[in-house]
Chains A and B, each alone.
Chain A
Amino acid sequence: MAIEAGQPIDELKVTPDRFLPIRYAGASGDFNPIHTDKEYATMVGLPSTILHGLYSMAQVARALTDNAGGPANVKSLSVQFRGMGFPEKEITVSGSTTSVEDGVATVELVAEQDGNQIIRNAVGTAAV
């Protein structure tokens, strides 16, 4: 069992490829061009196209869900978006279980890329 009070969860590592934001835009329906059009992204002051925040949150959710034993056990997830995520750089999701009470575990998580926290203060709960 990857969820145990006071213990780290299994890390998740993923490197979104260059075209991931295009596939995620199609899959999710979020076609904001800051994620897919480098010319537009730089015009509005970004260094390049950036990852969808909800894609990055989906990686945090995946780490929580896989550690919790599947989607039926996941109860909630709350995050704050900070910094920007970029394609072609590895994302690491890590975390630890802070408590287990009445069959519900509380897990704190973070997603980092290049030493920047792109998702912080993530708190998930899951049935154990």
Chain B
Amino acid sequence: MPVNTSAIGKTFAPGTYVVGREKVREYAEAVGETNPLYLDPEAARAAGYADVVAPPMFAVVFISKTMTPTLFDPEVGMNFAMMVHGGQSFTWERPIVAGEEITTHVSVKDITEKDGKGFYVYETISKDEAGETVVTADWTFLVRGV
């Protein structure tokens, strides 16, 4: 059965996430970060930041909050039992600090089929309160046996 591509281009309601200092520290400690910029507000201020800096991969936290529910969209129709995370890319425009509000826009960038596998690519664009893009990401999910 060919993979259903009708959801290509579909966009979802954007979601806003407030970056919290303790959440940044919790994430930084979980992934083993030791850079004081992520952990110590004084060190971050001394380096010119308003508060602790989010590690680049903290983008996962504020994007997932908005994107994860969209992965279950019936029009996209991914079979979760057969799905694995195949690839991931991020482009960062600048560091994000605790206290910022980040709004993430989610869309289905592409759906293709190759060798019996479905490749579902979501694109997320995360913007700051001024509307400037801070992080762009492509999330590739691979579904076997489509």
Q: Which residues of A contact B (CB under 8 A)?
A: 14, 20, 23-24, 26-30, 44, 53-55, 57-59, 61-62, 65-66, 70-72, 74-81
A71: chain B residues at CB < 8 Å are 35, 37-38, 53-56, 92, 95
B60 CB–A CB distance under 8 Å: yes
B91 nearest in chain A by CB position:
A76
CB distance A54 to B30 under 8 Å?
Answer: no
Which of B30, B33, B64, B94 lies at the interface centre, i.e. has the most chain A CB atoms within 10 A of its CB? Answer: B30
Q: How far is the CB of B57 from chain A (nearest CB, A)?
A: 4
Interface 0/1 of B111-132, CB less than 8 Å to A: 0000000000000000000000
Question: Would you list which residues of chain B between 20 and 37 have a CB under 8 Å from chain A?
Answer: 23, 26-27, 29-33, 35, 37
CB distance B87 to A28 under 8 Å?
Answer: no
Interface 0/1 of B56-73, CB less than 8 Å to A: 110011001100100000
B86 CB–A CB distance under 8 Å: yes
CB distance B65 to A14 under 8 Å?
Answer: no
Q: How far is the CB of A70 from chain B (nearest CB, A)?
A: 7
Bound Cα distance A24, B58 (Å) = 11
B18 CB–A CB distance under 8 Å: no
Sample of 10 more A-B contacts, CB < 8 Å, known A59-B32, A66-B35: A20-B30, A26-B26, A26-B30, A28-B30, A28-B61, A57-B88, A58-B57, A65-B55, A70-B37, A71-B55
